[in-house]
Amino acid sequence: MDAAVKKALDTKTFRPTGRGGGGSISSGSSYITDDGTVFVKINEKSNALTMFEGERAGLEAILATETIRCPKPIAIVKDGSNVALVMENLNMTSMTSHQQEILGEQLARMHLHNKMIVDEMHKGESRITTGSGDEDSSIKVVRKFGFSVPTCCGYISQDNTWQEDWTVFYLRQKLQAQVDRILRKAGDRDLNDVWSLCCQKIETQLSKLANIVPALVHGDLWSGNVASSESVPVIYDPASFYGHSEFDFGIARMFGGFSPSFYNAYFKINPKTDGFSERQDIYELFHHLNHWNHFGIGYKGSTISLLKKISTS
129: CATH: 3.90.1200.10
End-to-end CA distance of the chain: 51
**Domain membership of residue 54 as a residue range:** 2-88
Of 88, 109, 143, the residue at which a domain comes to its end is 88
Average pLDDT, consecutive stretches of 10 residues, N- to C-terminus, the chain (313 residues): 94 87 78 95 94 97 97 96 95 93 98 93 58 53 96 96 97 97 88 92 93 96 94 96 98 92 97 94 98 95 96 89
Looking at the structure, tell me whether residues 138 and 245 fall in a common domain.
Answer: yes
Task: Write the DSSP string, 130-161.
Answer: -SSS-S--SSB---SBB-SS-EEETTEEE---
Predicted local confidence at residue 23, as pLDDT: 63
Looking at the structure, tell me whether residues 302 and 278 fall in a common domain.
Answer: yes
Of 19, 53, 88, the residue at which a domain comes to its end is 88
Looking at the structure, tell me whether residues 9 and 105 fall in a common domain.
Answer: no
**Spatial distance between the Cα atoms of 308 and 311, rounded to a whole number of angstroms:** 5
Phi, psi (deg, nearest 5) at residue 204 = -65, -45
Domain count, the chain: 2
CB count within 10 Å of CB 107 equals 28
Annotated catalytic sites, by residue? 220
Looking at this protein, which amino acid is placed at residue 205? Q
Predicted local confidence at residue 25, as pLDDT: 80
- Please state the length of the chain: 313
Point out which residues pair with 216 in neighbouring strands.
242
Cβ-proximal residues to 9 (8 Å cutoff; 6+ apart), any chain: 33, 35, 38, 74, 75, 86
Looking at the structure, tell me whether residues 147 and 62 fall in a common domain.
Answer: no
Phi, psi (deg, nearest 5) at residue 310 = -65, -40
